[in-house]
Amino acid sequence: MNLLDLLFFFFSSLAAGGGLLMVVSKHPVPAALFMILSLVGVASLFVLLEAFFLAILQILVYAGAVMVLFLFIIMLLDVGPDGGKASKIRILSGFAGAVAVGLIIVLLLHFSQQSGFGLSSNAWPEINADSFVNGSNLTFSTSVKNFGYGLFTKYMLPLQVAGFLLLAAMVGVIILSKKFRIKKP
Amino acid sequence: MELVTPHHFLALGALLFGIGFFGVVVRRNLLLVLMSLELMLNGVNVALVSFSRAGLNLDGSLFVFFIMTVAAAEVALGLALLVALYKRRQSVFSEDMSLLRN
C-alpha cells in the first residue's frame, strides 16, 4: 500500500463521511459545513485522478460560491433545527430511503463486478504529455489547454447553451426575488 | 497507484449518490434537500472523472464542467424559490408546503 492508496482512502472517507454527517445533522449550519468538507474531499479525489483544473473549479464553484450562497440563505431565513417528533410517515420514509439506497449501491457494485465497464486491465494508463487531439478523440490531459480546446471546438454548442442557461437562471432569480409593486389604477 | 483501481472510485461515486438520494428522500428541510441534490451530482462527477482518466478520454471531464454549470444555476434558482416560499409560508419544511394536497 503506497502513499496514493492511503491518500485515496483518507479523502474518500472525508467525502463520504462529510456527506453522511451532512444528511444526518439536525441543524442546517453544521450540515452546510459538513457539505463543504465533503466537497473538498471530492476535489482532492479529482487531484488524485489528475484532473487538476476540475479540482480548482470544484473548490471555486462549489465550496466558494454555492456553499456560501447556502450559508447566506440559512442565516437570512434563520432556519432552526428539525422538529423532533418521529411520526409514522417519517419512520416509513426513512426505511424506504435506506432500502432504496441499499438497492442502488448493491446493484451498481454487482453490475460493475459483472461487466467491469469495459475498462482495460491496465488500470491507470500513462498520460502522454504531448498528446493533444487524436482524430475527433480528445485525449485526457492534465493541461488546461486541452480542456479549452475541447470546449471551444467539439463542445461549442453546449458551451453556448450553458452560457444561455446561466443568463436565464440569473433573470429568473431576479424576477423571483424582486418585489413587484401592484399599480393601483 | 496499483491497489486503487477505477472501481474504487466508481464505488465511492455510487456511495455519494446513495447518501445524497437518502437525504433527498428522508430530510424535510428543503435547504438540506437541495444540498443532498448537490451531493448526488458530486457522486456522478466522481464517476465521470474516473472513467475519463481510466479511458484517457477528455469527454467525461468536459461533461463534468457542464454538470457544474447546471448545478450552480439549479442552486441559485432553488434558493430563490425557497426564499419566495418562505415569504409566503414562514417555513422551509416540506410538510408545510401542502397547497396541492387535497
CB contact under 8 A, B56 and A140: yes
Task: Supply φ then ψ for residue A104, to 5 degrees.
Answer: -60, -50
Contact list in B for residue A8 (CB cut-off 8 A) is 1, 4, 8
Task: State the pLDDT confidence band at B45, using cuts at 50, 70 and 90.
Answer: very high
Give the pLDDT confidence of A106-117 residue by residue, as tens digits.
888 788 777 766
A39 has a chain B CB within 8 A of its CB: yes
- The whole-number pLDDT of residue B48 equals 93
Query: Is B100 domain-assigned?
Result: no
CB contact under 8 A, B32 and A23: yes
So what's the pLDDT on residue A133? 67
Please check whether residue B12 lies inside any domain of the structure. Answer: yes
Using an 8 Å Cβ cutoff, are B4 and A5 in contact?
yes
Within-domain flag for B102? no
Quickly list DSSP for A89-153: HHHHHHHHHHHHHHHHHHHHHHHHHHHGGG--SSSSPPPPTT--EETTEEBP-SSHHHHHHHHHT
Contact A70/A32 with Cβ under 8 angstroms?
A: yes
Q: Which domain holds residue B69?
A: 7-93
Least CB–CB distance from B31: residue in A28, A57, A162: A28
Q: Cite the DSSP H helix spans in A49-87.
A: 52-57, 67-77
Contact (CB<8Å) A166/B72: yes
Q: Do B57 and A137 touch (CB under 8 A)?
A: yes
Distance CA B94, CA A37 (A): 26
> Which residues in chain A are contacts of B92 at CB distance < 8 A?
77, 79
Answer whether residue B1 shows pLDDT above 60.
no
**Measured at the alpha carbon of residue A54, what is the angle toward residues A22 and A117, in degrees to the nearest 5?**
85
CB contact under 8 A, B82 and A73: yes
Yes or no, beta carbons of A162 and B69 under 8 Å apart: yes
- List the CATH number of the domain containing B77: 1.10.287.3510
Q: Give Cα separations from A61 to A51, A54, A123 (angstroms).
A: 15, 10, 30
Instruction: Confirm or reject contact between A177 and chain B (CB < 8 A).
Output: yes
Among B53, B68, B33, B21, CA closest to A127: B53
Least confident range from A85-94, A153-162, B85-94: namely: A85-94
Contact residues on chain A for B72, CB-CB shorter than 8 A: 61, 65-66, 166
> How many domains, chain B?
1
Q: Is the pLDDT of residue A90 over 70?
A: yes
CA distance B84 to chain A (A): 7
Is A150 in CB contact (< 8 Å) with chain B? yes
- Please check whether residue B95 is in contact with residue B28, taking contact to mean a CB–CB distance below 8 angstroms: yes
When pLDDT is cut at 50, 70 and 90, the band that residue A105 belongs to is: confident
From residue A65, how far is each of A78, B4, B37 by CA, in Å? 20, 31, 16
pLDDT score at A15: 94
Q: Which residue has the higher pLDDT, B64 or A182?
A: B64
Alpha-carbon gap: B50 to the closest alpha carbon of chain A (Å) = 7
Distance, CA of A176 to CA of A81 (rounded, Å): 26
* Dist CA B41 CA A35 (whole Å): 13
Option in B26, B55, B74 nearest A97 (CB):
B26
Helix B30-54 and helix A67-77, axial crossing angle in degrees, nearest 10 = 170
Q: Is residue B63 part of a domain?
A: yes
Residue B98 lies in a domain: no
The reply to whether B21 falls in a domain is yes
The pLDDT value given to residue B72: 92
pLDDT score of B41: 95
Structure confidence at residue A122 (pLDDT): 59
Residue range A18-63, pLDDT digits in tens: 999 999 888 899 999 999 999 999 999 999 998 899 999 999 998 8
Residue B84's identity, in one-letter code, is A
Grade residue B70 by pLDDT with cuts at 50, 70 and 90.
very high
Residue B1 in any domain: the answer is no
Among A31-35, A124-128, B89-93, the range scoring the smallest mean pLDDT is A124-128
